Structure 1
Amino acid sequence: MEFKKQQAIKTSVVACVIDENERVLLTRRCIEPFCSLWVMPGGKIDHGESILAALHREVREEVGIEIHVEGLIDVFEHIDVGDRKDHFVILYYRAVPLSLELSPNGDECTEAIWALKNCLPKMALPPGGRHILTQVFPDLPWEQPRPADLDLNEELPGGQLTSSSQN
């Protein structure tokens, strides 16, 4: 009997970082999957690493800030992502920033911003990020266009208060 080896499911953590003015930390992703979309910082959990340690590490690596984690928002699953048909299970945690000065690493993200919540429905977000933000801000008009309908080169909607770019 021959068995076909299955690809592993990738488990990741993402921080939905919201400051006291209800601005959300977003980064412009520069690697696949979801290259050029606005995402919340996060990434894979290393073998032997706790979930919360991975969350803190990923935020620190991507944008250079520390966070306080408040709790799990939800879990989102991406199936058949990209050319390799990857399968991701992503745990989204709500967090508050312990500082606001962003420093995007340039390896995974080229920009990091604090976006006003009212601008979120118009932004090019991947399905998981959009799903989570609809739960966090259910009062917003989420019937706006999906990422495929948006011009990724368009200027950020007027809600950008703080921006930091990596050249």
Structure 2
Amino acid sequence: MEAPLTDQRPIVAVGGVVLKGDQVLLIQRGRPPLRKHWSIPGGKIEYGEDIRTALVREIEEETGVTCEPIGLIGVFEALPKREGDRHYVMVDYACRYISGEVTPGDDAMDAEWLSLPEALSRVAWDETRRAVQGALKFAKEAK
């Protein structure tokens, strides 16, 4: 369970659709929100950290994979639905795999390379599904 909401400002986070050939890297979330659900790796931007640095750091912490951002997919929001819910603003990028063996770490329970159809069937949130689909326009650059 997340700590009580003491600050009602939106939380800015980054997410990466990491592409390796015809595969997409997904994590199984280890913490709320959406604990145990499959998603793209990412997390909160630290104070003073630029977006791309945060993206590469979060993906490496959660998966052991080093990547390079190749294009902005879009900005997505998770608005609070009830009192105490957080408001997230997620900046999602398509990323090209550089190196590393997939090893779940930090906030991830599991991490896997999956085919696009399998990845789309596993993700829990429609906005994440749209981000994965949005990364396809960058797929040629990822190879």
Counterpart-to-counterpart distance in 1, 2:125 and 2:59:
18
CA contact (8 A) 1:33 1:81 kept: no
Identify the residue that residue 117 of structure 1 maps to in structure 2: 116
Superposed CA RMSD in Å reads 2.1
Identify the residue that residue 84 of structure 2 maps to in structure 1: 84
Identify the residue that residue 165 of structure 1 maps to in structure 2: none
Percent sequence identity over aligned pairs: 30
Change in Cα spacing, 1:23 to 1:54, as seen in structure 2 (3 Å) is same
Q: Report the structure number with the largest CA radius of gyration.
A: 1
CA contact (8 A) 2:36 2:109 kept: no
* Structure 2 unpaired stretches of 5+: 1-5, 138-143
The code of the aligned residue for 1:79 comes to L
The code of the aligned residue for 1:67 comes to C
The code of the aligned residue for 1:101 comes to E
Cα offset, 1:11, TM superposition: 0.4
Q: Would you say how many aligned residue pairs link Structure 1 and Structure 2?
A: 132
- Residues 25-44 of structure 1 show CA distances to partners (whole Å, capped at 9, x for unaligned) of 00000100011111111000
Identify the residue that residue 9 of structure 2 maps to in structure 1: 8
Change in Cα spacing, 1:118 to 1:100, as seen in structure 2 (3 Å) is farther
Instruction: With the length of structure 2 as denominator, give the TM-score of the two structures.
Output: 0.83
- Secondary structure, in 3 states, of the residue corresponding to 1:27? strand
Instruction: With the length of structure 1 as denominator, give the TM-score of the two structures.
Output: 0.72
* Structure 1 unpaired stretches of 5+: 139-167
Greater Cα shift, 25-34 or 125-134? 125-134
Change in Cα spacing, 1:137 to 1:65, as seen in structure 2 (3 Å) is closer
